[in-house]
Amino acid sequence: MNISPPNYRDSIMRIIPITPLFLLIFAMFIFGWSITQYGGISQYGAGFMPCIISGLLLFLAAIDVAIDIKHRHRNKVSLTFDEVKALLLVITVVLLFVLLLDILGFVICSFLLLFILMKIRGVRLLHSVIVSISASLIIWFIFARVLLVAFPEGILF
């Protein structure tokens, strides 16, 4: 019988299903918030769609957690330092987006978010700029001008 000491890579193996658990927590938060703040699904209004979507997300994430736990011994996935660093960078960029949205406005914040995420993925500079500007303006135009959704206004928009 060969008993070898665990190496460093085994110590960072994913033991619990991280992503589905985050989705479960997020779905529970949105579901609870929609019910308490907006009346939930008892009446058609601001809380109706968030309750439906978060309920569906909660159900599917619970299934994902159950499947992941059932197949835990087969699906050991290790996280490298670069993956953890990229994950933390994406979380930081999204948090900055949320914090700066009221100050800079949607168009500028969405441009910066898309641009930074594309640069993280290694997309060329010109392509990143063109796609980020185009996507931000198209999303803003469709929602703010066509669908009349109120966006946070900042410096320019």
Last residue of a domain, one of 46, 78, 110: 78
Looking at the fold, whether 101 and 147 belong to one and the same domain comes out as yes
Looking at the fold, whether 92 and 118 belong to one and the same domain comes out as yes
Cα–Cα distances in Å, from 22 out to 17, 60, 68, 132? 9, 12, 14, 27
- Asked if the structure places residue 29 within a domain, the reply is yes
Domain residue limits at 27: 13-78
Asked if 150 and 102 touch (Cβ cutoff 8 Å), the reply is no
What mean pLDDT is reported for the chain?
79
Mean pLDDT throughout 69-89?
Answer: 74
Surface-to-core class of residue 41, CB atoms within 10 Å of its CB (0-12 exposed, 13-18 middle, 19+ buried): middle
Looking at the fold, whether 91 and 45 belong to one and the same domain comes out as no
- Asked if the structure places residue 8 within a domain, the reply is no
Write down the pLDDT at residue 6: 45
* pTM for this prediction: 0.57
Last residue of a domain, one of 26, 47, 78: 78
Q: Tally Cβ neighbours within 10 Å of residue 103.
A: 11
In the chain, the number of structural domains is 2
Write down the pLDDT at residue 7: 45
Buried b / exposed e over 108-138, threshold 16 CB at 10 Å, is: bbbbbbbbbbbeeeebeeeebbeebeebbee
